[in-house]
Amino acid sequence: MRYLHTMVRVKDLDASLKFYCDVLGLVETHRMENEKERFTLVFLAAPGDVERATEEKAPLVELTYNWDTEDYAGGRNFGHLAYRVDNIYETCQRMADAGVVINRPPRDGHMAFVRSPDGISIELLQEGKDLPPAEPWASMENTGSW
* Main-chain dihedrals φ then ψ at residue 28, nearest 5 degrees: -70, 125
φ, ψ (nearest 5 deg) of residue 118: -95, 5
Cα–Cα dist 99/40, whole Å: 35
Asked whether the beta carbons of 16 and 10 are under 8 A apart, the reply is yes
Q: Is 34 left (phi over 0), alpha (psi -120 to 50) or beta?
A: beta
Question: Which residues partner with 84 through β-bridges?
Answer: 2, 125
127 is catalytic: no
Q: 25 and 61 in contact (C-beta within 8 Å)?
A: no
Q: How many CB atoms lie within 10 A of CB 115?
A: 18
Find the catalytic residue in 55, 123, 127, 135: 123
Q: List active site positions.
A: 123
